[in-house]
């Protein structure tokens, strides 16, 4: 190829359809390697169309391979093309349908298998038998004329089941097959020995036994096997569906947890902001009160305007403080009056004691002297208390007078008309500014409260959503447990079937031994069928293990 004018696909097709048999084989093996275990590529390759000649309509790559195969080219070319077709059609029912859609392909294969040719052609016959067996085993019965049962009947009529199995065994008995199966690295002494590929030998080992079983199976067994396959596929699809749902629920749960943590962080940040805003509001209030005090001090006026300044400044605080002092003085006055009453009662008791007759003169003199001293002390305390009471009464009267004057001034300020002038306008402006700032602070406080309320509602909604997700997960877990119970029951049924099949094989083997002992000839196909049945049991056991893993 010169430059980038030719693609890799064009190179492969050029080698596949060239006149050189070695190029045909290498291109076919390379393309087969690209299709191994790649169902998507197998389906996409069915869309490839080739222009064979000018004026003729294009044909598909699959059809062109079968056309060259039917033209009777060299053995190396045909073996390469048959290996490519077997790899392409295996595990791909759509490719099998496309192959069977050409009505000339099945007659060609049956004709090749039914003929008695030389040893050189036996290898091609074996590969044709393998390809025809693949069309039976991987057939989805979408074509009515080439369903599984009809193809089996065709083999029974034109070839014979025993003859077909014999021709299929030619592949594994070939010397070059044994060499290729031993070493994965290609090592050929000359180009003529390039017949088999190591990967293709593994495919033959995998398919030879299952094709043999498929040929001898009855239609009822095929139906049962299809039903079992469909049931298993349904179980697998249901389990896969619920696994995906649980995985999606886990992802959603993780997202919700992240959202909750994010909202918690945002809530903490907002609470911090609210605290800061509250402190700022308190600072603004303090500044506002300070401004009111400063306005009362910095703008003294005469008459009613002076009273108005006091009212806007410190007058309400003074009134409150004076009221508290008046209440405190009243309480003190009541306390002093109660103490005075106690002292009066004590004096009366002393006086009554003094007037009562004594037992002897000395004790009377001593008692009278002591009583006189106590009376003097009590009189002195009484005078002191009365002076304190009078002073507090005067102070209470004075405070009440001041309170009345302040109330009168407040009423006079409300009724008075403000004095016009520049100072009045400035005062009004400053008062308006302070009131505006206060209203703005109140508005900010209201907005913060609304935000806190909205966050609380969002938090409640998230909690409800989390509870709903938890209930959904619990429901899915219950359904999953039910499915696991169903799968366990299906496995038990399969184990019972395997036990029945094993018992049947033992009976067949016992009968075969009896026939041998009696001298009755036993065909090798019967022994092969029992060996294949053992292989089937082993494969079913492996499938059971795989089901346990699932």
Segment 76-101 shows an average pLDDT of: 93
Query: For residues 531 and 492, which has the higher predicted lDDT (pLDDT)?
Result: 492
CB 323 within 8 A of CB 403: yes
Q: Strand pairing partners for 49?
A: 60
Q: Is the pLDDT of residue 421 over 60?
A: no
C-alpha distances (whole Å) from 293 to each of 305, 408, 414, 442 are 16, 21, 20, 21
Distance CA 316, CA 18 (A): 113
Predicted local distance difference test score (pLDDT) of residue 5: 75
Segment 163-190 shows an average pLDDT of: 88
Segment 155-177 shows an average pLDDT of: 90
Model-level pTM?
0.44
Q: Is the pLDDT of residue 324 over 50?
A: yes
Identify the band that residue 437 occupies on the pLDDT scale cut at 50, 70 and 90.
Answer: low
Query: Best-predicted range by mean pLDDT among 81-85, 393-397, 404-408?
Result: 81-85
Range with lowest mean pLDDT among 161-175, 385-399, 464-478, 488-502: 385-399
Identify the band that residue 300 occupies on the pLDDT scale cut at 50, 70 and 90.
Answer: low
Is 473 a domain residue?
Answer: no
Is 514 a domain residue?
Answer: no
Which 8-state DSSP code applies to residue 144? Answer: G
Burial tier of 211 (Cβ tally within 10 Å: 0-12, 13-18, 19+) = buried
Segment 194-203 shows an average pLDDT of: 91
Residues in the chain: 550
Identify the band that residue 26 occupies on the pLDDT scale cut at 50, 70 and 90.
Answer: very high
Distance CA 203, CA 93 (A): 17
Predicted local distance difference test score (pLDDT) of residue 46: 92
Distance CA 108, CA 23 (A): 24
Identify the band that residue 336 occupies on the pLDDT scale cut at 50, 70 and 90.
Answer: confident
Q: Is the pLDDT of residue 494 over 80?
A: no
Query: Of all residues in the chain, what percent carry a pLDDT higher than 70?
Result: 71
Q: What is the per-residue pLDDT across 4-22, written as a single tens digit (0 to 9) for each? A: 677 888 888 888 888 899 9
Segment 242-265 shows an average pLDDT of: 89
The mean of the pLDDT values for the chain is 77
Which 8-state DSSP code applies to residue 521? Answer: -
Segment 91-112 shows an average pLDDT of: 92
Distance CA 197, CA 340 (A): 129
Distance CA 70, CA 109 (A): 9
Which 8-state DSSP code applies to residue 340? Answer: H
Segment 405-432 shows an average pLDDT of: 55
Is 414 a domain residue?
Answer: no
Q: What share of the chain is helix, strand, coil (3-state, %, to 5)?
A: 85, 0, 15
Q: Is the pLDDT of residue 365 over 60?
A: no
Range with lowest mean pLDDT among 254-258, 329-333, 359-363, 460-464: 359-363
Query: For residues 232 and 427, which has the higher predicted lDDT (pLDDT)?
Result: 232
- Signed CA dihedral, 116, 118, 119, 123: sign only: negative
Structure tokens at 286: 């303090």
CB 353 within 8 A of CB 314: no
Q: Is the pLDDT of residue 478 over 60?
A: yes
Range with lowest mean pLDDT among 53-57, 342-346, 415-419, 459-463: 415-419
CB 336 within 8 A of CB 392: yes
Q: Is the pLDDT of residue 550 over 50?
A: no
Residue 75 is part of a domain; what is its CATH number? 1.25.10.10
Query: Best-predicted range by mean pLDDT among 38-47, 402-411, 529-538?
Result: 38-47
Q: Is the pLDDT of residue 529 over 60?
A: no
Identify the band that residue 33 occupies on the pLDDT scale cut at 50, 70 and 90.
Answer: very high
Predicted local distance difference test score (pLDDT) of residue 317: 61
Q: Is the pLDDT of residue 547 over 50?
A: no
Is 201 a domain residue?
Answer: yes
Predicted local distance difference test score (pLDDT) of residue 24: 92
Domain count, the chain: 1
Identify the band that residue 353 occupies on the pLDDT scale cut at 50, 70 and 90.
Answer: low
Identify the band that residue 310 occupies on the pLDDT scale cut at 50, 70 and 90.
Answer: very low
Identify the band that residue 543 occupies on the pLDDT scale cut at 50, 70 and 90.
Answer: low
Is 416 a domain residue?
Answer: no
CB 312 within 8 A of CB 431: yes
Is 165 a domain residue?
Answer: yes
Is 254 a domain residue?
Answer: no
Identify the band that residue 184 occupies on the pLDDT scale cut at 50, 70 and 90.
Answer: confident
C-alpha distances (whole Å) from 372 to each of 341, 353, 361, 368, 384 are 20, 12, 16, 6, 18
CB 164 within 8 A of CB 113: yes
Is 183 a domain residue?
Answer: yes
Query: Of all residues in the chain, what percent carry a pLDDT higher than 90?
Result: 19
Domain hosting 114: range is: 8-217
Q: Is the pLDDT of residue 91 over 50?
A: yes
Q: Compute the CA torsion angle 91, 96, 99, 101 (nearest 10 deg).
A: -170
Distance CA 101, CA 527 (A): 36
Predicted local distance difference test score (pLDDT) of residue 546: 47
| 3-state DSSP assignment of residue 50 | strand
Identify the band that residue 84 occupies on the pLDDT scale cut at 50, 70 and 90.
Answer: very high
Predicted local distance difference test score (pLDDT) of residue 2: 60
């Amino acid at each position: 190829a010169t430059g980038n004018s030719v693609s890799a696909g064009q190179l492969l097709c050029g080698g596949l359809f060239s006149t050189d048999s070695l190029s045909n084989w290498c291109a076919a093996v390379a393309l087969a390697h690209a299709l191994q275990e790649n169902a998507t590529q197998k389906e996409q390759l069915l869309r490839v169309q080739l222009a064979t000649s000018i004026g003729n309509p294009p044909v598909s790559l699959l059809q062109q391979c079968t056309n060259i195969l039917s033209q009777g080219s060299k053995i190396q070319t045909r073996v390469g093309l048959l290996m490519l077709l077997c790899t392409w059609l295996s595990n791909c029912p759509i490719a099998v349908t496309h192959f069977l859609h050409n009505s000339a392909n099945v007659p060609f294969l049956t004709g090749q298998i039914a003929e008695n040719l030389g040893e050189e052609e036996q290898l091609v016959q074996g590969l044709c038998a393998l390809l025809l067996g693949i069309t039976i085993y991987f057939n989805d019965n979408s074509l009515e004329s080439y369903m599984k049962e009809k193809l089996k009947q065709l083999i029974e009529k034109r070839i014979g089941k025993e003859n077909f199995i014999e021709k299929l065994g030619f592949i594994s008995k070939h010397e070059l097959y044994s060499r290729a199966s031993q070493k994965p690295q290609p090592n050929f002494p000359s180009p003529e020995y390039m017949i088999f590929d190591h990967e293709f030998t593994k495919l033959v080992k995998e398919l030879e036994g299952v094709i043999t079983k498929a040929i001898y199976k009855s239609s009822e067994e095929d139906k049962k096997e299809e039903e079992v396959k469909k049931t298993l596929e349904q179980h697998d699809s249901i389990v896969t569906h619920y696994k995906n749902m649980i995985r999606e629920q886990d992802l959603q749960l993780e997202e919700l947890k992240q959202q909750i943590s994010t909202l918690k962080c945002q809530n903490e940040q907002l609470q911090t902001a609210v605290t800061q805003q509250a402190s700022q509001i308190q600072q603004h209030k303090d500044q506002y009160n300070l401004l009111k005090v400063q306005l009362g001090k910095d703008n003294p006026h005469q008459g009613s305007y002076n009273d108005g300044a006091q009212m806007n400044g410190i007058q309400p605080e003074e009134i409150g403080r004076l009221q508290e002092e008046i209440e405190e003085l009243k309480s003190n006055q009541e306390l002093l009056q109660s103490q005075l009453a106690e002292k009066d009662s004590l004096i009366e008791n002393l006086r009554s004691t003094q007037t009562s007759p004594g037992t002897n003169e000395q004790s009377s003199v001593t008692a009278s002297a002591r009583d006189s001293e106590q009376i003097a002390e009590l009189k002195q305390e009484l005078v002191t208390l009365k002076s304190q009471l009078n002073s507090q009464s005067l102070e209470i009267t004075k405070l009440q007078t001041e309170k009345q004057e302040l109330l009168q001034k407040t009423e006079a300020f409300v009724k008075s008309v403000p004095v016009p002038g520049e100072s009045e306008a400035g005062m009004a402006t400053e008062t308006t500014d302070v009131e505006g700032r206060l209203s703005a602070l109140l508005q900010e406080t209201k907005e913060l409260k609304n935000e806190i309320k909205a966050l609380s509602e969002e938090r409640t909604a998230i909690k409800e959503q989390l509870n709903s997700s938890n209930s959904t997960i619990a429901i899915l877990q219950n359904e999953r447990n039910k499915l696991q119970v169903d799968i366990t029951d299906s496995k038990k049924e399969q184990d019972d079937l395997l036990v029945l099949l094993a018992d049947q094989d033992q009976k067949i083997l016992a009968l075969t031994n009896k026939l041998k002992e009696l001298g009755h000839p036993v065909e090798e196909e019967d022994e092969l069928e029992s060996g294949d049945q053992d292989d089937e049991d082993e494969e079913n056991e492996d499938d059971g293990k795989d089901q346990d893993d699932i």
